[in-house]
Each structure stands twice: as C-alpha cells, then as structure tokens.
Amino acid sequence: MTLPRSLQARFALSVGLVLTVLWLLAATVTGLIVRGELDEVFDSALQETAERILPLAVTEIVGRDEDEVTQRLAPIRAHDEFFTYVIRDPEGQILLQSHAADPAAFPAYDGQGFRQTATHRLYSDAVLSGTIRITVAEPLAHRAAVARSIRMSLILPLLVMLPLALGGIVLAVRVSLTPLRRFRARLDARSARDLSPVPAADLPAEIAPLAATLNGLLARLRDAFEAERSFAANAAHELRTPLAGAIAQAQRLGLETTETTTRTRAAEIEATLKRLTRLSERLMQLARAEGGRLRMDDSADLRPVARLVVEDLARTVAPGRIALTLPETEVLSDIDPDAFAILCRNLIENALRHGADAAPVDVTLTAEGQLIVANEGPVVPPETLTRLTARFERAQASSDGSGLGLAIVAAIADRIGSEVLLESPRPGEATGFRASVRLPADGPKPSRAR
Amino acid sequence: MRILLIEDDTTLGAAVRDQIAADGQSVDWVTRLDAAGDAMRGAGYDLILLDLMLPDGRGIVFLKALRARGDATPVIILTALDQVSDRIEGLNAGADDYLVKPFDLAELSARIGSVARRYSGNPNPLIVHGPLQIDLAARSIHRAGKPVALTAREWALFEAFLARPGQLFSKPQLEEKLYAFDSEVESNTIEVHVSRLRKKLGGAIIQTERGMGYRLGKP
C-alpha cells in the first residue's frame, strides 16, 4: 500500500492507525485480565455454593425416611438457575438435585475439585467418607455471556471515541498545517515574473528551513536573471564599438583606395562584419528575450516606441516602404519598451526581407495592444508556417536572414504570456503574410472627469 | 563646418575623423569629456558628435550640461547603447539625432548634413540660388543645368556660406570652418578657395566686404 501524498492525510492516517491498534490492544489485554479475574470469582462462587449446600443436604438426606429416592427441590419462585447441583451416593444415585439440574450435564464423580466439560464448569466435594457427594455446575455459556458483555462495554465506547479521535487528529493536523497552506497560497498567487522572497515568518520550525531554501533559490534565480540581462546589454555594447570601428575602417579603406581588388576586399570585409553584427545582435536579443524581465512595474505608451522603430527602419529602405498605423489614444502596456522594440523590429525586418519588394509593409498597433505586421508576397505553405518560429529556420534556404528573427519574437511572446499568430495568405486576401502579437495592454482607460 | 568628435575608441574615431575630413569639414577629435570641454572653450563648433560611454563620464551628462547652459550646438549621439529606452533618454536630453553603432559612414555624413541643414533653417537639401541648383544631400551643383565639380574644401566653404545666406564671415571664421586645430593654415588659403569658387560658380557668388570678410552673393 502506498501512503497518500498529502501530509495531512498521512499524519491523520498514521496517528489514527496507531491509536486504533493501541486501543484495541489495550481492550484485548483488559478483556483477558478481566476474564481471568472473572473465572476466579465465579469458581469461588461455585465452591462456596457447594460448601453451603452440602451440610444442609446432609441433614436433609440423613433425616430422610426412605432411601433411594431422588428429591427435586421445587423453586421458591420461578427463576433461571445459573448454578445447578446434584447430590449423589457412591453408586451415582441422585439423592437431591436443584430444580433445573439436568443429570446428563453431570459426569460421574471423580474426586473433589474443579472439572470442566464442554458445556459446564463443575465443582465436586464429598462428606461422610465419600458417601454423600455434591457436584455444582455452572454453564460455560453464562460465563461467556458475562465476558462478552464486558468486552462489549470495553469496545462500544471505542466505536464512538475512535471516529471522534480521528476527527480531532485531522482537525489538529489541519490547523497546524495552516501556515504551510498560507505559504503555498502566497507562492501560488504570485505571477511568473515575481521573484521576490516569499514571507515565511509564521512557518513551523520544520518547514521554515524549506522556505528559507526556496527563498534562497528565488534570490539566486533573480540574480541569474539580472546577470543574464546585464550580460546581454553589456555584451551588445562591448561588441558594437569594435565592430563599428572595423566596419568604418573597412569603409574608409574602400573609399580611399583606387585599386579595384582592394576595394572589393574591403567591401567583402565590410559585408562579413555586418553579417557578424546582425548575428551577434540577434543572439543578444534572444538572450535578452529569454533571460530578462520583460514586464515592467509601470505602464508606458507604446506608440512612441513603434514610431521610433519604424523611423529607424524606414531610413534603410525606399521611402514609403513601411506604412505605420497608430491609434489616437495611448496604448498603455507594462511590457519592457526595449522588448517591444525588439519585437517590432524583428517582425518588420522579416516582412521587409521576405515580402514583395514593391508593396509596402503595413505596421498596425491597435488601441487594444495588438501589433500586426502584414506584407504582400507569395503564400507560405502551412507546414513552413509552423516551422518559422523555430531557431535558425528560414523560409527559403537562400535567404540572407539570421533565421532568428521570428524565434526571438516567439520567445518574447511566450515570456509575456502571448503567442505569435502567423497567417498566410493574409486574412481577406489571396496572397501575403501576416504576423500578429497581442501585447499585455491596460486597455483604453476611461477618461477621468475633473 | 567645424565638427567636434568625442569618441574614445581609436579605430572608430580615426575612421569617422577621416570621413568627415574627406567630406571637407574640419574636425577636432577628442577622447575624453574634459578634453571636449577644453576644445569648446577654444573654438566654436557647428556640430558635436558625442559618444555616450566615455572613460571620464557619461555623454548624456555632458549633453544635459550643454543644454542647461543654453548652448544650442547641434548634437548627434553615436552610441553602442541600442535600447529604445537609451535612445529616448538621449533625445529627451536634447540630442538632435541618434546613430547606433555600427553605422555606415555614408549615413553618418548624411545625418550630419541633415542636422546642419535643419539648423540653418532650411531642411530642404535642394537649394536654387540664381542659376545654381544645389543638392546638399547629394553634394552636387548644377550651373545652368550642367554639373560643376567642387573639391571637398570648396564644398565646405560654399556650404558655410549657404548655411547663413545673409551673414558676413571674417577670414578667421572661415579658416576655423575649414581646419582642425592641428592643420596648418596658410595665409592666403581662403582667398584661393574664394577665387576658385567664383571661377566655377560665377563671379557674383561671393561678395567681398573690403577689410571685413565675405558673404554669399545675391542670386
């Protein structure tokens, strides 16, 4: 048998079981002791009866006129006889017997003392050189009934007390586990991004170390997240400056040289460095998306961020390539603005890279906080669509992307409890591609009257 | 145009300095904020290129101090801090533009031109001046429909005049726009460039105010 998983049930069950066994053991031992005492009392009563009756019977029998007559003493009042007796002569002839005595229950006389048959307990004695012999019998059933009623009186309260005791145990265990339940509820109620210590001052001594360990773990986790976040930021910074220097030098080399081969080589170096820049940037973004805290304590308007990202990207492409639609009202969200910018940037870059060259990329942020990036282009087959958010996955093998853009978007979406919806063709049309993410938005705030 | 470059990375700083010089602007390059302060006390600058993480402090503090004392010199931030929050902070502190490393030198030149134009009051890079059609962004001039080639120095000088159409420039002011601290200035350099500009663009393009300096001629 396996123990139940609940500590409370385990406590209640084990304590209850031990209590029941002990109680039953105590009852059994008490029963046995009482039974022994009972036998002693009954035996002595048996012997006493015999010794009382015998002298009277002797007087009676000796003063009798005729011999060889069995006299049955009539009862004074009708009653059950627990003790019956016969008085016999040496030949076994019954001289006197009690009114309910059954001669068949009395075996032949075989000396003074206690005997026992299958049904009766007997005591025999003799006087006048053994010529008058008495045997008193008591049915064993009588003793058994008495013992049974004593046993019952021992067990009956048990039947009432045990459930009460078990209930009491369950209640006591439940009460003493209340702090633990409260601790669990506190832990349960917090959001995934809350790594602050759980208050554990009221916990029992046995559980307190566990809570301390948990809080230590939370603290380490928090530090690790923080370290990862600052690593991503620092590494990006540390990588950018030397890369910028190398790219700028390569560009200067290309501009200053008059030799075609040198210019070609400089361009190759530049292209490689730019690819390296893009890749390291994406890896940092991915590290940030997975490690950092993506929800802030305060909400901020997402529109300026979207505007900044679009302005930035618009500089690198033909005018009118990106069409941004923003709502009139603020779009308040507690998502980290930088995470939102990474999300935006990757979706737009993805659309620019894979969409049709001539058609604009439509970037829409709704008042409810949904970011939609749609572009014209060939239909992406559904099986490719499901693969797109996997890392290092490109729609076409020839594509020059890092293959991380949508994976980063998916990682951020996952961390903010949302998901990226990829659709192709774009809804309501025959071609194109649409990606959308629902952001944690506060929703339109009711305007406060002043 | 005279530009102050504040950048502590020597590889990047050298390339940026060469790019600006090749564009015909004069550039002073310092690697520390205190050196930047000294440079600004010694000369007037038309534009500052400011890195944010410098060995002796944060560029953003420098920028805020600059704006706090009412200095309106255009500032373009060059930084490796790529986060939107950093950029918003930079723009709010009073930067005119923001370039995240690594960047294209051509883009840097374009941004410098665009910020400078905005400050001169005419953000449109296409200027018509008499028979001249000038594209500041493309650095091209057409005279009566025919292209005219200017050297970098000539461009820089002409650009200075275009930026302040009515202003009278003294010879030292113009020299300052053409050379960095460490360049040698020959006594007749400005006269030589002015005469070349007149030859290429027409005699009336630059007027001489005897004993005082030069200004852009009426179209």
Class of domain A294-450: alpha beta
Q: Is A237's CB within 8 Å of B84's CB?
A: no
Q: Is the confidence at residue A3, as pLDDT, over 70?
A: no
Mean pLDDT within A156-173: 83
Residue B44 has which token pair?
A: 């007037």
Count contacts between A and B (CB, < 8 Å).
Answer: 82
- Residue of B23, B84, B103 to mutate, testing the A interface (most A Cβ within 10 Å of its Cβ): B84
- Residue of B79, B82, B111 to mutate, testing the A interface (most A Cβ within 10 Å of its Cβ): B82
Q: Residue A324 CB: number of other CB atoms within 10 A?
A: 19
- How many Å apart are CA B28 and CA A204, to the nearest integer? 70
Residue range A312-362, pLDDT digits in tens: 888 878 888 899 999 988 888 888 888 899 899 999 988 888 888 888 899
- How many Å apart are CA A100 and CA A137, to the nearest integer? 11
Return the CA Rg of chain B. Answer: 18
Smallest Cα distance from A338 to chain B, Å: 5
- How many Å apart are CA B30 and CA B10, to the nearest integer? 10
Smallest Cα distance from B154 to chain A, Å: 19
Q: Residue A11 CB: number of other CB atoms within 10 A?
A: 17
Could you tell me if A240 lies within 8 Å of chain B, comparing CB atoms? yes
Q: Is the confidence at residue A449, as pLDDT, over 50?
A: no
Could you tell me if B55 lies within 8 Å of chain A, comparing CB atoms? no
Give the per-residue pLDDT at A447: 44
- Write out chain A residues lying below 8 Å of B83, CB-based: 233, 338, 341
Give the per-residue pLDDT at B49: 95
- Write out chain A residues lying below 8 Å of B49, CB-based: none
> Residue A177 CA to chain centroid, in angstroms?
14
Q: Is A152 helix (H, G, I), strand (E, B) or coil?
A: helix
Residue B32 sits at the vertex; the CA angle it makes with B29 and B36, to the nearest 5 degrees, is 60
Residue A200 has which token pair?
A: 């554990």
Smallest Cα distance from B83 to chain A, Å: 6
Could you tell me if B106 lies within 8 Å of chain A, comparing CB atoms? yes
Q: Is A245's CB within 8 Å of B18's CB?
A: no
Least confident of A80-94, A334-348, A398-412: A398-412
- Write out chain A residues lying below 8 Å of B105, CB-based: 248, 251-252, 255
Among A256-265, A280-289, A294-303, B164-173, which range has the highest average pLDDT?
A: A256-265
Q: Residue A8 CB: number of other CB atoms within 10 A?
A: 16
Q: Is A251's CB within 8 Å of B106's CB?
A: yes
Give the per-residue pLDDT at A382: 82
Could you tell me if A242 lies within 8 Å of chain B, comparing CB atoms? yes
- How many Å apart are CA B76 and CA B71, to the nearest integer? 14
The residues spanned by each domain of chain B are 2-120, 126-216
Instruction: Using CA coordinates, name the residue in chain B closest to A239.
Output: B80
Instruction: Using CA coordinates, name the residue in chain B closest to A309.
Output: B84
Q: Is the confidence at residue A431, as pLDDT, over 70?
A: yes
Indicate the pTM of the whole model.
0.60
Write the DSSP assignment of A179-197 as a string of letters.
Answer: HHHHHHHHHHHS-TT--SP
- Write out chain B residues lying below 8 Å of A315, CB-based: 107
The residues spanned by each domain of chain A are 7-167, 186-292, 294-450
Mean pLDDT within A413-424: 85
Give, for A45, the enclosing helix (H) or strand (E).
helix A7-62
Higher pLDDT, A437 or A71: A437
Residue A435 has which token pair?
A: 């990606």
- Residue B19 region, left (φ>0) first, then alpha (ψ -120 to 50), else beta? alpha
Residues facing B78 on adjacent strands: B51, B99
Per-residue pLDDT tens listing for chain B (219 residues): 889 999 999 999 999 999 998 888 889 999 999 999 999 988 789 899 999 888 998 899 999 999 999 888 999 999 887 778 788 888 888 899 888 888 889 889 989 988 888 887 777 778 888 888 888 877 888 888 888 888 888 888 888 888 888 888 888 888 877 775 556 667 788 888 888 888 888 888 888 888 888 988 877
Give the per-residue pLDDT at A2: 64
Binning pLDDT at 50, 70 and 90, where does residue A65 land? low
Could you tell me if B101 lies within 8 Å of chain A, comparing CB atoms? yes
Give the per-residue pLDDT at A141: 87
Dihedral in degrees, nearest 10, Cα atoms A15, A19, A25, A26 = 150
Size of chain A in residues = 450
Could you tell me if B85 lies within 8 Å of chain A, comparing CB atoms? yes
Q: Within 13 A of A325's CA, how many CA atoms are on the CB side? A: 13
> Cβ distance A171 to A130 under 8 Å?
no
DSSP code, position B203? G
Of B13, B19, B85, the CB nearest to A338: B85
Q: What is the CATH number of domain B126-216?
A: 1.10.10.10
Residues facing B49 on adjacent strands: B5, B76
Could you tell me if A341 lies within 8 Å of chain B, comparing CB atoms? yes
> Cβ distance A146 to A41 under 8 Å?
no
Q: Residue A244 CB: number of other CB atoms within 10 A?
A: 26
Residue in the structure block whose two tokens are 């290309």: A254
Residue B203 sits at the vertex; the CA angle it makes with B199 and B209, to the nearest 5 degrees, is 120
List all residues 6 or more positions away from B165 whose beta carbon is below 8 Å from its beta carbon: B216
Q: In the β-sheet with A84-88, what is the strand arrangement from edge to edge?
A: A71-72, A94-97, A84-88, A132-139, A120-127, A113-116
Mean pLDDT within A145-161: 83
Q: What is the CATH number of domain B2-120?
A: 3.40.50.2300
Question: What does pLDDT average to over chain A?
Answer: 82
Binning pLDDT at 50, 70 and 90, where does residue A393 land? low
Binning pLDDT at 50, 70 and 90, where does residue A398 land? very low
Mean pLDDT within A76-104: 79
Mean pLDDT within A259-278: 91
Q: Residue A135's closest CA among A112, A164, A159, A158?
A: A112
Residue in the structure block whose two tokens are 């003063």: A63
Amino acid at A30: T
Q: Is A243's CB within 8 Å of B53's CB?
A: no
List all residues 6 or more positions away from B115 whose beta carbon is below 8 Å from its beta carbon: B47, B74, B76, B96, B97
